[in-house]
Each structure stands twice: as C-alpha cells, then as structure tokens.
Structure 1
Amino acid sequence: MSMEWDGRGPFVLRELVGSLETILAGPGTDYAADLLARTAELGGSGQIAEVIEAVSADRELLGRCASRSFAHPLGFQKFVLLAGRRFEVRLHLWVPGAQVATEHVHNHRFAFASYVLLGRLSSNLYDHAADGVLAAGYRESRSADARTYLFSPTGLVRVVRRETTELSTGMSYFMNPETLHQVSPVDTPSASLVIKIPTPRTTTTVLMPPLQKPPRFAARTALTLDTARSMLRDALELIRR
C-alpha cells in the first residue's frame, strides 16, 4: 500500500491537499506565512474535524493512517491523517492519565506549522551561548526500517533558554528545522494539528543533561485499523467540546 494520498475521498480532503500542494509548489521557499495561515484556518474553522471524519470513514485511508500512527515515547498519540508528496497532516493528542515524559531540547528534520486545537502547551526556545547551561549533544537518526531511534554523541555544548511561551487553544506557530526547542502539555487533554514539510536532513540534534544517558525507545508499533478508528472517534469528541 502506498503511503501517499492517491486522490481518494470527499471534497474536504481534495481541497486540503490541493491547497497545500499549491503553497509548497510556489516559487522559492518563502512559504512559512501561507502554510501557517492554512494550518490556522484548518484548525480554527473546524475543518480538521471533517478531515478526521473523512479519513475514519474510508477503510483504505484509515489503513494508511493507522500504519503510520503510534503512541509516541514522549507520551502523546501521533496520528498521520494524510501524507502527500511534500507534506504530512498530523494530529498530536495528550490524554489524561498518559505518562508524559520530559522532552529533551531538540530540533527537527523538517519545518512545520502547528495549531493548538485543545488545551495548552508550553513551548521553550533555546540558543547556543558561551555562558549557557552545559548539555550533552547527540545526533539522532532512525534505524533502516525507521522504527527505532538511534543516538550518536557529538560532544558538550552550552545553551540558554531565550523564550518561553504558553500556547493556548487557537494559537499557531511555525517552526524551522534548525530551531532548538521543547514542547510539553500544560493541560490534559491537549491536542495540536501539525503540518510538516520535508527537508533533506536525515538527522536531528538532541541535547540532554551531561550525565544522562540517551533514552532507549522501543520500536514504534503501528495502530490496528479498529484501534485507530476508535481513538480518532475519541479525539473528535474532545476537539468538538
């Protein structure tokens, strides 16, 4: 089964995919503002609920979603609702009772736009600084099957927290792949819509306390079709409250 969306589904999916492909196929790479605006529109208008319903109602689309969705080691549920040539539309959900781990300072392989659908998230941004806090650097990559996280030490660095923002329902932001940050839920349940776009980089930077060892994450286990359907139904109920 191809992981990319193949044009199936109702108008809400075709319109979403068309708008994202248009934004990302434009001249140059200055698409941050347009992508952020489309993400905020998708989340703020309630259209994301229609997208979730459309994916849940189509067995093939739901199967693609389930095969790429899993319980993230940091304590949130990650759903990949749609994947195109240049983008992924994701839903991240933190639910009451889940064991939420402290996120290490990190950057990403990709840029993304995000909109807070529910609850509140705390966002910290960091910079390298000679007078900053000492941290051990690691290069994070994935195994050949992309199911396991791998960590290679890169040496000690110093970083300083330059900004802390509480992101409440209805707020959105754009994150460049180079930006060092942490995100954690202030409330549960909390949920965010994330639209990621590809970059050529295959690794990320992860920073942690010098004496702390890299986490040993278990292999990611994809959701079953029935589990994905049930969890998306529960997510819809929370988002629509």
Structure 2
Amino acid sequence: MTRVAIVTGGSRGIGRAAAERLAADGMAVVIVYAGNKTEADKAVEEIKAAGGQAIAARADVADEIALGAAFDLAAETFGGVDVVVNSAGIMPLGTVADMDLDVFDRLMRTNARGTFVVSQQAARKLRNGGAIINLSSSVVGLRFPQYGAYAMSKGGVEALTLVLARELRGRDITVNAVAPGPTATALFLEGKDEATIDTLAKQAPLERIGSPEDIAEVISFLAGPARWINGQVVRANGGII
C-alpha cells in the first residue's frame, strides 16, 4: 500500500522540498497551498515528471472546512492519509513595542491556529502507523530581537506537538516537530542584506545557512524510518544551539 502525505505550505520553501523528498521516498503527496496556484501546480508537475504521484489542494490552514476538504481529497484520490507535514507559516517581524496587533493576529491565525487545525484533522483522520511533523523554529531558543510574535507562535507549536504525541497513545502514530535554524527560503531571506545573512551563516559551527533540502531530509526521516522518535523537537540548525 502506498503511503500518502499531506504537506501544507507545499508550494514553496521547506514545504516544497519536503513534498519533493517524500514523493521521491515513494509516497503519494497532496500539496496544500494558500494562494500560489502557479507554484503549487509546478511542484505537482515536477513530482510527476520524476515518476511520483501528487495533486494540489487550495486551503487556508486556519479554515477547518477547507482543510478538512483537503484531507478528504487525499483520501478520495489516494485512499487515505499516513503522513502530515505542517510547514505553512508566515514570519512578519517587529519588536514587541512596535508590532501591529492586526499583523500579530494574522501571524497567530496561520502559525498557531493553523497548526492546531491541521493537527486536529490529522488526529481524526490519520491511519494507524502514521506520522505528524510540525514545523517550529530554532528562534524559540535563539530569542532574536524582533522575532517575539513569531517565536511565541512557534513555542505554541512545540507545546501542542508534545501534547498530541501523548493523546495519540495506542495508534502507533508519531508526532514530532522540526525546528529549522536560518534556512535559505524566500520567507527567511526577505528583507535581509548580505551582511546579515553572512553573520547568521557564521553562527553555526558548519558555517553556512541551511537549505530546504537539509530540513526535508529530517522530515523524511521522521515520516518514514524513525518509528522510535516520538514527542520530540528536532533542532535542525547546523549546531547553533
């Protein structure tokens, strides 16, 4: 039986790399995207061109109706859902003093409520023996200025992940979070000059910025062979912390 993965935020960045890697691992993939249909369709075509199976589904992760429909589409098309990778997220920056609260609410809707909605659907619909992988961030531990709202949302993701792992006792479903460090995605690179990126690259003992493929490798491990890793946060950041 082919395993089936849903990847939110799968049209770009870490989500895109994760979708491509899981497809290469032999899974059928449903790429959930918020608005960039062009990139989502391109990701599907590239997976198919490489011999994999993929479809795209548009859904706001914070909308339980739309997200539930994406899970139903996965079941109708491929027979069920075994793996969920929740990589949808936004990262507006600002100090606590200056952060616009409308921006804060939007961030929390996508990162916190969105992760909860995805986790809820996964808890209800995943086949036994599956895996849930949420995306946190190493900034939870690094505590960079201007990342207060983002770190707050991702701290909640980590707490939810560990609780859900315990709630799914008896179903052989693993629940883990991956917390990337600085990674070369549009989300991370936007608004940063070369000097800032170089400084961040030097923080890791490996002296480089991570790639989406670096994170996808960890996701692949947690989605497949890592059956004895459960209720953990894996900080994939080259050794910054």
Q: TM-score range by the shorter chain?
A: under 0.3
Q: Which has the higher contact order (CA 8 A, sep 6+)?
A: 1
- Structure number with greater Rg is 1
TM-score by length of 2: 0.26
| TM-score, normalised by the number of residues in structure 1 | 0.26
Indicate the structure with greater helix content.
Answer: 2
